[in-house]
Structure 1
Amino acid sequence: MESEKTLAGKLEQHALQGFNKQITRIQEAGQSLYHYTGLTSLMGMIETNRLWMSKGTFLNDSSELVYFSGILKTVLDKMQVSDKGNLWGMFIEELQQTLDHFMKEIEESGFEVYVFSMSQTEDSLALWYNYAKGDGYNIGFSAEELLEKINHYLLETGLLHGLVVYSRREQETILEDLLMESFELISGYQEEQVTSVLADHFFSVMASCAIFFKDATFKSEEEYRIAIISRGELDGKVKFRARNGVIIPYIEVSFEEKLPISHITIGPKNNIDIAKSGIEHYVRSKGYDLETVTVSKSVAALRY
């Protein structure tokens, strides 16, 4: 019979591959994804040819990871109705215990999530206000090129990417399917082999879903996320930056060549006349062709 280590590896692979199959990807050729940010971050990423991925608990919506616990409780209540024997009972009990400690342990353990958020919306008033304070910038990336470049990280680093899910019904279905597949995977093992590996596996499933599940009130953001889940493998790679008076932990994903930028938009609150020419001069100096990287001013109307 296979060892607990082998089972843990199978469950880890299932958590990543199974979730990747559930999440919708950008399919349309020529589509762009937009990252709303400040000038310091924009210049930092262009200077280094790296994406800056912020630690999950430091995202603007501090309730994101909390929201997921309600989804899991609903799914857990539904699954508790079934009776599939002793192994099922242990599975449900371990799931309940992991839920009870999820928020506390994701803060205190080495389990960390880093996220790079983008949107399918090019010029959103809400996104300008929430993520760039109106006077920031957004970077338009060629979705096809960007995702092609990061795909080789998928299984090596626990990297996930896809559209955020806003439908409560769809969220519950995705989570329930993942958990049922997990139970099928362990069904050939003895209970004592399973108990030692389930907690870590449930954390992987929970973290993956928590990253990509948001309340329907955020649907207008049309968010696409790239996320890396780590259990300490990123020690020594975490950097820090200041944003709105707060220190933000982040990691970098490196590109061998220039970032696949297609467009840069200047925020609606930025009324500095030379902002456009300044950005154009800057990106040109970094080797970008202004025939392929366009710069424009937001047409959104902010009122203060």
Structure 2
Amino acid sequence: MYLAGEYGFEIFSKYIKEDFLDKKRPKKIFHYTNIYGLENILKKGFFWVSDANFLNDKNEIKYTFELSKKIFSSICEERGFSDETTREYNIFFNSMIENNKNLYSLSFCTNPDSNLLWANYSQNDGYCIAFDWKGFYKYMDRNEKFLLIPGYVIYDKNKQTKKLKNLLNDIIDILEEGTHLESKISSAFTALEFYSLFFKDRCFSQEEEFRIILYPKVDKETYKCRISNGTFIPYVETEFDTGSVIGVTIGPKNNMDINSEGLYKFLHQIKEFDYSKVKIGKSKIPYRF
């Protein structure tokens, strides 16, 4: 496990536990997908959770790392380090953030009827699956292979900068102190990588995203690969409690009555899981054709 030793866990707990694990949760979370995604998720009872280094927006993780580089350099300047020390610390810092770990990201939305997500993830004619948060998380948290870190994505740059300054000051303190270096540094940069998955540019704020990050409890984990847009995407499968599915909303461009009836028939013919109490709804977003 990456968080080796008591010193490593202390750093991790200080930032990730307080910022994400101990925070208030939504009562419901929503996952937008096309009809094929809906079929796979509900028939098989698990998600394909992609390696965070292969997210749709390749600049997403880089956003936090680029911001942290600027803050790190400014802290070195504020502390009055010599040019040589500053250069050494910056080289070390840059090398560490290039060594990304295999974290896996599962994305949801807190908005049950998002115009943006209908367009981006389901071409306006897809589906939105509603989950009861408590039931969903309670079951997933039993996973022995991964530590689950859930949290709201933060879009406020001032909040991001404040959190990064605290963490980066600690990283510099560790470098200056030089004791238990490997354990503390590894944990601190793992915390930074978690930040990179929960910090996004404010231009994405309309996504209203809530994420669950899966952190491998062992150094080597088994993953599979799927093909998407000509690329192999590493992913892991994670089961969820199908009883936590409380609703499915049909996209705004699905106007035919047979869509509702077809969805009803689909849910009720899945013998492995009981979806009889799942509420079927229709997006309230008006579209003109």
SS where residue 112 of structure 1 aligns?
coil
| Distance (whole Å) between structure 2 residues aligned to residue 10 and residue 92 of structure 1 | 30
**Could you say what the CA RMSD is over the residues aligned between the two structures, in angstroms?**
3.5
**Cα distance, 1:6 vs. partner?**
11
Asked whether the equivalents of residues 15 and 204 of structure 1 are also in contact (C-alpha less than 8 Å), the reply is no
- 1:73 equivalent to 2:62? Answer no
- Return closer, same or farther for 1:57/1:25 CA change in 2, 3 Å cut-off: same
Aligned match of 1:296 = 281
Aligned match of 1:265 = 249
- Return closer, same or farther for 1:145/1:6 CA change in 2, 3 Å cut-off: closer
Superposed, which structure 2 residues align to 1:165-176 within 5 Å?
A: 165-176=154-165
Superposed, which structure 2 residues align to 1:127-206 within 5 Å?
A: 127-153=117-143, 157-181=146-170, 186=174, 191=178, 193-194=180-181, 196-197=182-183, 200-206=186-192
Identity %, equivalent residues? 26
- 1:99 equivalent to 2:94? Answer yes
| Distance (whole Å) between structure 1 residues aligned to residue 86 and residue 205 of structure 2 | 33
SS where residue 112 of structure 2 aligns?
coil
SS where residue 274 of structure 1 aligns?
helix
**Cα distance, 1:181 vs. partner?**
4.8
Task: Report the TM-score, using the length of structure 2 for normalisation.
Answer: 0.81
**Cα distance, 1:284 vs. partner?**
2.3
1:171 is matched by which residue type in structure 2?
Answer: Q
The structure 2 residue matched to 1:241, chosen from 213, 223, 226, is 226
Superposed CA deviations along residues 181-223 of structure 1, whole A, max 9, x for unmatched, are 5566x59x963752x4455334312210100000011111111
Task: Report the TM-score, using the length of structure 1 for normalisation.
Answer: 0.78
Superposed CA deviations along residues 210-264 of structure 1, whole A, max 9, x for unmatched, are 000000111111110001234974532x223344555432212224x42511111
Superposed CA deviations along residues 2-41 of structure 1, whole A, max 9, x for unmatched, are xxx999423442354231311374446xx21111112222
The structure 2 residue matched to 1:227, chosen from 213, 217, 230, is 213
- Return closer, same or farther for 1:300/1:61 CA change in 2, 3 Å cut-off: farther
Asked whether the equivalents of residues 2 and 218 of structure 2 are also in contact (C-alpha less than 8 Å), the reply is no
Structure 2: state its 5+ residue gaps.
Answer: none
Superposed CA deviations along residues 24-72 of structure 1, whole A, max 9, x for unmatched, are 74446xx211111122222222223223212213323221011112320
Greater mean deviation of Cα atoms: 74-83 or 134-143: 74-83
